[in-house]
Amino acid sequence: MTERRARLDVLYTSIDARVAATHAASTDPWPCTVGCDVCCHKLSKIPEITDAEWDVLAAAIARVPANHELFAARIAALEGVEFGPVVCPFLAPEDGVARPGSCLVYDGRPAACRTYGYYAERGDLLGCATILAHDEDGAAGILWGNQLAVDRELDALCIDSSEGRRSIVDRFQEQFR
């Protein structure tokens, strides 16, 4: 395992712990649960990820070869798109084969996906209207994660890398086309 991958694993473990703490601190059922894909349908932009994140995501993509054509078609539709809302290309198809709302690469999802709905950036919650309403309804005691700290750690992963963060569209096209 490379040093960058080890650092990413530590970051992902930290994010997972914060998510678990958020669920535990909430007095009401937390809106982000299995099957919710609201944020996945309304991405403000295409996620840009580090080399280490791509390695994890690419391995998850490789584990679902039956969906490579679907991913490729969805990625192609995103070429040239800079801002959203955009739909994540890795959602399960809504054809009854897989449960809609499922992330087909969940175990390999990047930090952007792991933190959404649980982290804040400069005092603003990163989440959909349901998350914002949940917070307004008195979710006092929720300790939001610090997105800027996550971003700093991700940027540090790029220091010894030949490239910084890049779009999942570009990375997918390079590896899977």
pLDDT of 47 above 70: yes
What is this structure's pTM?
0.86
Q: What amino acid occupies position 30?
A: W
Phi–psi pair at 103, nearest 5 degrees: -85, 120
Considering the chain, what percentage of its residues have pLDDT values greater than 70?
A: 87
pLDDT of 25 above 90: no
Placement of tokens 């609201």 in the chain: 38
Q: What pLDDT is stored for residue 160 in this prediction? A: 67
pLDDT by residue (tens digit) across 26-41? 777 788 877 778 888 8
Rounded CA separation 32/139 (Å): 14
E strand or H helix that includes residue 134: helix 129-136
Q: What pLDDT is stored for residue 1 in this prediction? A: 65
Torsion of CA 124, 130, 136, 141, to 10 degrees: -80
Give domain limits for the chain.
3-176
pLDDT by residue (tens digit) across 88-133? 999 887 655 555 458 889 999 999 999 988 888 776 777 788 887 7
